[in-house]
Amino acid sequence: MKCLTIRQPWATLIALGEKQFETRSWWTLYRGPLAIHAGMQVDRAICLTEPYRSVLARHGLTSDDLPTGSIIATSRIADCLEVTSHEVQQGWPGGNEYVFGDYTEGRFAWKLEEVVPLVHPIPAKGRLGFWEYPVLEEDM
């Protein structure tokens, strides 16, 4: 299964359904299943700022509770949209979604759907870009 390593708290925000777009500097033609891997680093400072602090608290979490070095959810990349100044000026994506990503013109927003958090995170070493994990049925 294709995996993507994402720093914390952003990986957890995806797993919780609070973040629907992952913003990247690169375009992907890939559409399909994607495992969300929480990287080893936690941005503790951003976890203390709003709206991060409130959203995590609503789920009973702080920066100390975020899993690292594990696959924490599965999802599906449904689309990849280029960020343009026109869309941002029109208020897209809006709300917390805008704060949770980097919507600088020329970046790309990957639409994630069918996100399912794993009951038991799977320890795994992350990598840059897409990487493969040999998912077994019992893992999920």
Residue 72 lies in a domain: yes
* CATH number, position 38: 2.30.130.30
Q: Is residue 135 part of a domain?
A: no
Residue 139 covered by a domain: no
Contact 23, 58 (CB under 8 A): no
Q: Has residue 136 got a pLDDT over 80?
A: no
Q: Is residue 84 part of a domain?
A: yes
What is residue 137's predicted lDDT score, i.e. its pLDDT? 47
- The answer to whether 136 and 55 have CB atoms below 8 angstroms apart is no
Q: Which stretch of 15-19, 51-55, 123-127 has the lowest confidence by average pLDDT?
A: 123-127
Is residue 137 a part of any domain in this protein?
A: no
In the predicted model, is pLDDT for residue 8 greater than 90?
Answer: yes
Domain assignment of residue 107, given as a range:
2-126
Q: pTM, whole model, 2 decimals?
A: 0.93
Structural domains of the chain, count = 1
Q: Where are the alpha helices (DSSP H) in the chain?
A: 10-15, 44-47, 52-58, 85-89, 95-99
The answer as to whether 75 is a domain residue is yes
* Residue 131 domain-assigned (yes or no): no
The larger pLDDT score, comparing residue 89 to residue 126, is at: 126
Q: Is residue 133 part of a domain?
A: no
Give bridge partners of residue 75 from the DSSP assignment. 34
pLDDT tens by residue, 57-79 = 999 999 999 999 999 999 999 99
**Mean pLDDT of all residues belonging to the chain:** 94
pLDDT tens per residue, range 111-122: 999 999 999 999
124 pLDDT above the threshold of 60:
yes
